[in-house]
Amino acid sequence: MASSTIAPTSASCSPARSLDGAPPARRPRAGGVSLRRRTRGDTPVPPPPQAPTVAPPLVLAAPHRLAAYTTPPTDLARLREPVLATVPYGVGASTRPRDVFVLLGNAGRVALRPVHAVMGALQSNRLVLADDHVAVLADVWADAARLLRLYVAVADIVWGRWVATVDARAAAAGMPAAPMASALARLTATLDGADESWAALAASRAPDERMAALFAALDVASGAAVAAFRRAEAVLPAALCGACGAAATDRAAAAAGRAAVARRAAEVGGWAAATAARPAALPAGVAAAADPARTTSVVLPPPVVV
């Protein structure tokens, strides 16, 4: 007996419908989320945040020469250190405008403390310098420099309106330089100078001769950062208070205007409702009684005496 083979029809091969006529289940994604076609009303999903930038390790061209470095006793630069004490934060309502700028400035001060601590240890002449010691300084400076550049970016993007207000007032007063723009520009320039000093140290065949220049560049950048912090905390709160006061005045004026419009609309609406109301109908055969308040009295002229 010959066996017959039944060819599958297109309906049985099509995955569009199952045997009971119901649509097939969506194929799950690897993570367990089903695939879905994006429609026009969907909100675009932002990309994931980038990983924090990691500074590349410091590689010196001649690390063995570091052992020859000694800080001269007459080098007074090793004694310089800016005031890195944090400014009081969150004291009360009186310091609230300053707190906006103190928070990030205090973070910069705290980040600069390890830099000066490591520099003091390397300049103490109590150890023989090696590339590991300089690598520690490079790591702590990379963290501090990243935060200082973030400070400049925040001052430019977030605080830009208040910075422009302060600089405009200074220009109107006849000051030769803009206080905030000059402080931020100096900070950026000193950070670039520190990067150049690190690059020169890494490429030098005599790194022991470059250490003094590196320490000086880091000192200058640290001092410029503290100066920028102080300048921002001194002049920007007034600009912030002025902007908040003007905004509050505008909001109060707008609220008063809306209240006046609402009162006028209520008055007009009440008058319109009173005039548009239809009088009540009286039953047949009933006359309206005279209203004493609406009765017109006839005033006769006085008699004429002949």
Q: What is the pLDDT of residues 1-24, one digit of tens each?
A: 444 445 544 444 444 555 555 555
> Across residues 243-259, what is the average pLDDT?
56
* Count of residues making up the chain: 306
Does 236 map to a domain? yes
Per-residue pLDDT at 246: 46
Q: Is the model's pLDDT at 270 over the cut of 80?
A: no
Per-residue pLDDT at 140: 96
Per-residue pLDDT at 302: 66
Q: Please indicate, yes or no, whether the overall pTM of this predicted structure exceeds 0.85.
A: no
Q: Is the model's pLDDT at 265 over the cut of 50?
A: yes
Pick the range with the lowest mean pLDDT from 174-178, 187-191, 247-251: 247-251
The closest alpha carbon to 64, from 214, 249, 206, belongs to: 206
Does 11 map to a domain? no
Q: How many domains does the chain have?
A: 1
Taking the C-alpha atoms of residue 199 and residue 183, their distance in angstroms, rounded to an integer, is 25
> Across residues 261-268, what is the average pLDDT?
68
Q: Is the model's pLDDT at 249 over the cut of 50?
A: no
Per-residue pLDDT at 177: 82
High-pLDDT (> 90) share of the chain, %: 41
Angle at 91 between CA 168 and CA 116, to 5 degrees: 75
Range of the domain at 89: 63-258
Does 228 map to a domain? yes
Does 16 map to a domain? no
Q: Is the model's pLDDT at 26 over the cut of 60?
A: no
- Residue predicted with more confidence, 35 or 261: 261
Angle at 282 between CA 280 and CA 285, to 5 degrees: 170
Per-residue pLDDT at 306: 58
Does 269 map to a domain? no
Does 250 map to a domain? yes
The closest alpha carbon to 202, from 62, 69, 55, belongs to: 62
Taking the C-alpha atoms of residue 83 and residue 105, their distance in angstroms, rounded to an integer, is 12
**What is the average pLDDT score of the chain?**
77
Does 37 map to a domain? no
Per-residue pLDDT at 96: 86
| The three-state (H, E, C) secondary structure of 213-232, written as one string | HHHHHHHHHHHHHHHHHHHH
Does 45 map to a domain? no
Per-residue pLDDT at 162: 93
Q: Is the model's pLDDT at 97 over the cut of 90?
A: no
Per-residue pLDDT at 92: 82
Per-residue pLDDT at 117: 93
Per-residue pLDDT at 288: 55
Per-residue pLDDT at 72: 78
Per-residue pLDDT at 293: 52
Q: What one-character-per-residue DSSP string does the chain give?
A: -PPP-PPPPHHHH-TTS-TTSPPPPPPBPTTSPBP----TTPPPPPPPPPPPP-PPPP--S-GGGGGG----TT-GGGG-----PPPP-S--GGGHHHHHHHHHHHHHHHHHHHHHHHHHHHTSSSS---HHHHHHHHHHHHHHHHHHHHHHHHHHHTSHHHHHHHHHHHHHTT-SS-HHHHHHHHHHHHHHHHHHHHHHHHH-S-GGGTHHHHHHHHHHHHHHHHHHHHHHHHHHHHHHHHHHHHHHHHHHHHHHHHHHHHHHHHHHHHHHHHHHPPPPPPPTT-PPPPPTTTPPPPPPPPPPP-
- Residue predicted with more confidence, 254 or 152: 152
Token representation of residue 101: 């700028």
The closest alpha carbon to 219, from 198, 190, 245, belongs to: 190
